[in-house]
Amino acid sequence: MSAGVHWRSMTRRLPALTGGVITMGLVVSLGTMLVYFATVYDNAKAADARFRVGSDIRLTPNPTGELPHPTTLAHEFALAGQTATTPVVHSAQNAVLTSDFNEDTMNVAAIDPDTFGAVAAPPDSVFVSGTAGEALAALRSPPDGVLVNVALADGLKLKVGDRAEVLLARGTDQQIRVPVRVVGLFTTFPGAGAGAGTANFRERFDVQTRATSLDRDQSSLTALNVQGLLHLDSFFTFLMAATATAMFVFGLLLQRRREYVTLRAQGMSSRDIRVLVLAESGTAAVLGAAIGVLVGVGMASQFVQLLRPIFTLAPPLAVPPVELAVLAVLVLGATALSSIAAAFQLGRLKPTELLRDE
């Protein structure tokens, strides 16, 4: 079969071809949106779990324990595969930040800026005043530098470079006021959202990992609803693609069966006619798939932004090439199966029956 025959055949049936392209595009766009969103959702939830814990594993001293927990203790827990450790001293609502405008209670965390970045790997997106590296570098320079939550800073009318005062150990015999300088602003801090873990190490520590944090998050009602949406997987897309292609191909047979018989009478072989049907359905599938992928990626991007409140960090919009390739193979496979079935039906067309229908 020549390319000219294929081109003339398609141009004579542009409405039917356009309908096939649109139908296939709608099917592929739905499948692309599901695959894209599923990948973004899984990656974002895993990143959120690690951010809430503050690292891959977190050991929090049991508040009922009587043993001391100096910051140097972090380096004594050497594990296989462990790359770095960092100490964090944290207190909740045990301090007061005072500016020239107002004062407010706050949570305080003392970190080691030399090791915290390697362990917590805070993303740049949570720092308003610059990158994560710049914020941690700013803490290394002045001994009185602090990073302040942007909402708290707005309430106290503080900005980077301003001087303030912190009341530490509020309500205890050790309370003290110290002058500080704001060196950076952040929206949320790694490890700030970590809850209680599993008691271990002879009840000396609560242990929490990013896996347990992810499991806890995925057991919530919101996560279950989203997971229910993601169960519409590639197999469903395959069935829809097969149905759409079958409707397109067999619609061509109903409209053009006399034309196919005429082509056979003029000398075109049955094999060439089958190739013609496959080429037309393949063209509709390829064009529809290309349009559907673009539309699906755009729809998924908007969907992710719509569901932004369920994520702690801004989800990275990365296109999953492997999953999209699998989807394309399934769509083309469905097209091939429908075309083969149509080609089989072509072989059963009898000119005498067509003439009798006249």
**Number of structural domains, the chain?**
2
Nearest to 295 by CA among 39, 28, 34: 28
The first and second tokens of residue 278, run together, are 């496959």
Rounded distance between C-alpha atoms, residue 43 and residue 35, angstroms: 12
Tell me if the pTM is above 0.85: no
Do 260 and 135 belong to one domain? no
Which residues does residue 48 pair with via DSSP β-bridges, in sequence order? Answer: none
Do 139 and 252 belong to one domain? no
**Domain termination residue (choose one: 144, 177, 193):** 193
DSSP 80-128: TT------EEEEEEEEEEE-SS-EEEEEEEEE-HHHHHHHH---GGGBS
Do 91 and 166 belong to one domain? yes
Does residue 28 form part of some domain? yes
Q: Which residues of the chain fall below pLDDT 50?
A: 199, 353-358
The confidence score (pLDDT) of residue 188 equals 86
The confidence score (pLDDT) of residue 357 equals 45
Does residue 353 form part of some domain? yes
Do 266 and 324 belong to one domain? yes
Q: 198 in helix, strand or coil?
A: strand
The confidence score (pLDDT) of residue 358 equals 47
Do 327 and 229 belong to one domain? yes
Could you tell me if 62 and 201 are in contact, meaning their C-beta atoms sit under 8 angstroms apart? no
226 phi/psi in degrees, rounded to 5: -65, -40
Which residues does residue 57 pair with via DSSP β-bridges, in sequence order? Answer: 209
Nearest to 48 by CA among 300, 222, 201, 225: 222
The first and second tokens of residue 141, run together, are 């320079």
Do 186 and 231 belong to one domain? no
Cα dist. 353→184, 197, 198, 270 in Å?
83, 77, 77, 18
Do 186 and 292 belong to one domain? no
DSSP 145-180: EEEEEHHHHHHHT--TT-EEEEEESTTSTT-EEEEE
Tell me, what amino acid is at 55?
A: S
The confidence score (pLDDT) of residue 333 equals 79
Do 186 and 227 belong to one domain? no
Rounded to 10 deg, the angle between the 321-346 and 234-265 helix axes is: 30
Does residue 247 form part of some domain? yes
Give the domain range for residue 112.
Answer: 86-193
The confidence score (pLDDT) of residue 354 equals 46
The first and second tokens of residue 176, run together, are 């003290």
51 phi/psi in degrees, rounded to 5: -65, -40
Does residue 216 form part of some domain? no
The confidence score (pLDDT) of residue 213 equals 74
The first and second tokens of residue 188, run together, are 């949320």
Tell me how many degrees the CA angle 255-257-262 measures, rounded to the nearest 5: 125
Does residue 298 form part of some domain? yes
Which residues does residue 200 pair with via DSSP β-bridges, in sequence order? Answer: 205
Do 116 and 160 belong to one domain? yes
Q: Token match 């049991």: residue?
A: 62
Does residue 201 form part of some domain? no
Provide the pairing of β-strand 176-186 with 145-149. parallel
**Domain termination residue (choose one: 193, 213, 238):** 193
**Domain termination residue (choose one: 178, 193, 208):** 193
Which pairs from 2-6 meet CB under 8 Å and 24+ separation? 5/276, 6/276, 6/279, 6/280
Does residue 80 form part of some domain? no
Do 236 and 353 belong to one domain? yes
Does residue 75 form part of some domain? no
Which residues does residue 91 pair with via DSSP β-bridges, in sequence order? Answer: 108
Q: Token match 């530098």: residue?
A: 145
Do 147 and 35 belong to one domain? no
CB atoms within 10 A of CB 45: 20
The first and second tokens of residue 205, run together, are 């520590």
The confidence score (pLDDT) of residue 193 equals 57
